[in-house]
Amino acid sequence: MSALYRSPASRAFALSTLFVAAAATAAPAITDLPHMAPAQRAEALAVLRAVRPLGALDTTPPSVVSLQAGTVVDAGKNMNQLLVEVNVTDDLSGLLHTFMTARSPSGLHSVGTGQHPGGWPSYKGAMSLRFGPFAEPGVWTITEVYGSDIAGNNFVCDATCLAALGGNLQFTVTGTKADATPPTLLSGRIATPVVSLSTPVKGTTDHLPFVRVQINTADQGGSGTAGAYATFCLPDQSQCFSTWSENWVYAQKKSVLYGSASTWVGLPTGVYLLKDVTLHDHAGGTRSYLGTAFGGSTDFAAYFAAGSQVVVNP
């Protein structure tokens, strides 16, 4: 199995074993180089050079040649996309992926898109930025194009770089619906009130347990709840972790979000109290609840009937 699909720890072990054995067997795949740490990549290149001669190495990142955005997108229509003509090239190994970001008038919201050329020397064509019915109206701006090539050379064409290309970077979003009311918390449930760092996930031998939290919300603004954070901390706040959940269904008046957070080796054991809950809607609105144990005004016992703490055992 390619090292790309392993966990970081097993990938490092597999690569180190591969490099040691490479001289006697096969050299590491050159396509694995972008996914290695710098030290591992240098070692792999040394092995590759010893096993078979290499041509010129690609040390030059791709470059954005041109970019031209459309001028208007009506987010109220079914085909709610803005097309951006872009030309990105690479000099040797070929493009691995290319991404684009646009930011809203307030600067609080962003929309992104991407292409995965997979080794083609250039990408010249349209990329699509899509907008929901509750996107912020007004003039948006494309702020960056970034990505990398097969050899692992990264590139970022920021606002200054894009402006120098001379193409249109701004467009107007119309047809959106107003939503000025952020979601509210209805209730919640901690599905894993006790976890043990020595007990792996069922059916595995080396995956540490997850903390899982269900959060029930209401949204009267119209766009619906998009996501929720729940942060747990030791009483002295020396260590915290957060669960995150997403909901891609628009316009739900009530939503159930299922969040999780992974534990890790070295996580301090103890009783972690629910510090805060933060809710987001699809219009970019946010509402936060801070628990009384941490100086806030929210008594989470009124929302989490079965308890609002997580015990982390050895």
Question: How much is the pLDDT for 135?
Answer: 87
Supply the pTM of this predicted model: 0.63
Question: How much is the pLDDT for 10?
Answer: 46
CB 45 within 8 A of CB 51: no
Q: What are phi and psi of 32, to 5 degrees?
A: -80, -15
| Nearest Cα residue to 152 out of 60, 46, 241, 21 | 60
The span from the CA of 291 to the CA of 313, in Å, is: 23
Question: How much is the pLDDT for 260?
Answer: 96
**Mean pLDDT split into 10-residue runs, the chain, 314 residues:** 41 40 45 61 67 68 88 82 95 93 89 91 94 90 95 93 96 90 96 96 89 97 95 97 94 96 95 97 91 98 98 97
Question: How much is the pLDDT for 109?
Answer: 83
Which residues are within 8 A (CB) of 307 and not within 5 positions of it... i.e. 6 or more apart?
190, 193
